[in-house]
Amino acid sequence: MEKAPALILMAKISMLLLAAACLGALFSCELTTRPPSVEWVRPSEGVYASPADFVEIRFSENMERESVERLFGLACEGAETEGSFSWPQGARLLRFSPHKEMERGMCIVTLAAGARDRQGSETRRAYTSRFFTSNDLAAPVVAEVFPSDSIAGVRPDTRIRIRFSEPMDARSVERGLRMYPSAEGAFSWNEAGDTVEFAPFLTLAFLTEYTVSIGAECADRAGNRIGAQRDFRFRAGEEFVRPVLVETTSPSTAENWVSAGMYSEHHGLETDSVLELAFSERMDRSSLTEGFALTPAAAAVMTWESDTRAVIRFPAGLENETRYEMRITESVKDAAGNPLESAFTAYFHTDGEDSRAPAVSAASIAHDGGPTGLIHMGLALPDGNILVDSTAVFDLVFCTDMRRASVPENVSIVYVNGADPNFSGAIRRYEWSGRTLRLTVGSLRRDNLYELRLRGGADGITSATGATRSGDIRYFFRFGE
């Protein structure tokens, strides 16, 4: 009898431990299980829908169907709507299909709290969504299409335009409009909402028939669909003859480069030359801007003397004594959008009389015994006896008329090495006679090596027409014993 109280105490402790374990399990379930929720409802909140539509609810979890169907409700203009349930995508999507068309006006979708998922978790709050059905029962019709059905000769840059009999639901139309062959582009609508325009990103293909399909799912703002697919067709291309480049020339050469053939070479152009292009028919002027290429590049301005003849000028001028590649590509089009029949490439040289780089055709040291020639990047060894008071006379004959003011600051005598650096050379006098420059140079002595240099570059010696040269002209000489 004395052991009974101890046994009773142990039993109570066991019951408390069991209760604690159960509570722990419950809390553990609450922490690891989330309640189901509504992800979306269709028709969406506030939209207009067709009275013949159905209602769908998407859940976050797989649901217990009977629980959901029991708590679902649809009322239109205050009257409950009867219908049937289906689950077309498993246990997460509920579809409610009314037995007859919904009443016109406001419809309220409700789902009371407590709808269970398959794990037994319940929705924690009620869900409500509203949409509207319209009194408009008339199906919209396609009133006008552009381009017209079965028309040919459509410009490749044409935009597709469709006008409906009433304002449309833009999303349904943009989803239901299809084009074959396919073309990517952007939609735009007029303010009234009854006309849509489709602008392809790329021009339509030459000599191609296109079909535009207006799908049966296209609907007006009340949800009424057009009911049947409508197709219309057109053919791109105003006319189908490709343009031909018939002439390429420059007044500097007065020859037709096209007649000379692809990859022909042409000489005698000046730095201020222009190019003239002639085509066989009326051209799309903007396409020439994209289809003309020059290498090396030069800023170009294009003007049109007529619909078939263009003039290309270079405001900053071309580089002198440079070989250019000119290309006219097939991206050049006529006014109907037909591409050039064939591309054309030619080469021209800016080596005309006025564009020649300044150069020295003859250089020498003058003395009574006859001139001693100088050679560019070579060494001359004149007799030291021609020095008079450490002075000598140099004659430089240029191949073109010079901008004389550019010469003194770009001509120099430089001591390179030798016996006495104090005799470093100094130009005392400049005398011009036509294209010949005579330099009187002092402070010279025997056995010193000197360099006579004429500097080139953009700021170097310059011809009378403004042409420059790319490099320096250098002569080396040493007066012997």
Best CA proximity match to 312, nearest among 286, 275, 347: 275
Which phi-psi region, left, alpha or beta, contains residue 129 (left: φ > 0; alpha: ψ -120 to 50)? beta
DSSP bridge partners of 441: 392, 427
Q: Which among 279, 182, 274, 169 is positioned nearest to 224, based on CA atoms?
A: 169
Confidence at residue 50, expressed as pLDDT on a 0 to 100 scale = 75
- Each residue's pLDDT, cut to its tens digit, for the chain (481 residues) gives 444 555 455 555 555 555 555 445 444 444 447 899 999 998 888 777 778 789 999 999 999 999 999 999 999 988 999 999 999 988 999 999 999 989 888 899 999 999 999 999 999 999 999 988 876 778 899 999 999 999 888 888 899 999 999 999 999 999 999 999 999 999 999 988 999 999 999 988 877 899 999 999 999 888 889 989 999 999 887 667 889 999 999 987 878 999 999 999 999 999 999 999 999 999 999 999 999 999 999 999 999 999 999 999 999 999 988 999 999 999 999 887 889 999 999 999 998 888 888 999 999 999 988 899 999 999 999 998 899 999 999 999 999 999 999 999 999 999 999 989 999 999 999 999 999 999 999 999 999 999 999 999 989 999 998 889 989 999 999 998 7
Q: Which pLDDT score, from 0 to 100, does residue 380 have?
A: 94
Long-range CB contact pairs, 259-266, < 8 A, 24+? 260/346, 262/344, 262/345, 262/346, 263/345, 263/346, 263/347, 264/346, 264/347, 265/346, 265/347, 265/348, 265/349, 266/346, 266/347, 266/348, 266/349
SS3 assignment, position 274: coil
The full DSSP string for 312-333 is EE-TT-PPTT-EEEEEE-TT-B
Give the C-alpha distances (Å, rounded to integers) separating 394 from 329, 357, 469, 478.
Answer: 53, 22, 21, 14
Quote the DSSP letter at residue 34: P
Count of H-run helices and E-run strands, the chain: 5, 34
- 309 forms beta bridges with 278
What is the CATH code of the structural domain delimited by 38-133?
2.60.40.3710
Are 142-236 and 360-478 in the same CATH fold? yes
Model pLDDT, residue 152: 83
- Domain extents in the chain: 38-133, 142-236, 245-355, 360-478
Specify burial of residue 452 (Cβ count, 10 A radius: 0-12, 13-18, 19+). buried
289, 291, 297, 300 alpha-carbon torsion, rounded to 10°: -20
Task: State the architecture of 360-478 in CATH terms.
Answer: Sandwich (2.60)
Nearest CA-CA partner of 369 in 333, 401, 393: 393
d(CA 393, CA 416): 19
Topology of domain 245-355 in CATH is Immunoglobulin-like (2.60.40)
Q: Which CATH number fits domain 142-236: 2.60.40.3710, 3.40.50.970, 3.90.1150.10, 3.30.390.10?
A: 2.60.40.3710
DSSP 357: P
Per-residue pLDDT tens for 112-132?
A: 999 999 999 999 999 999 988
Strand, helix or coil for residue 398:
strand
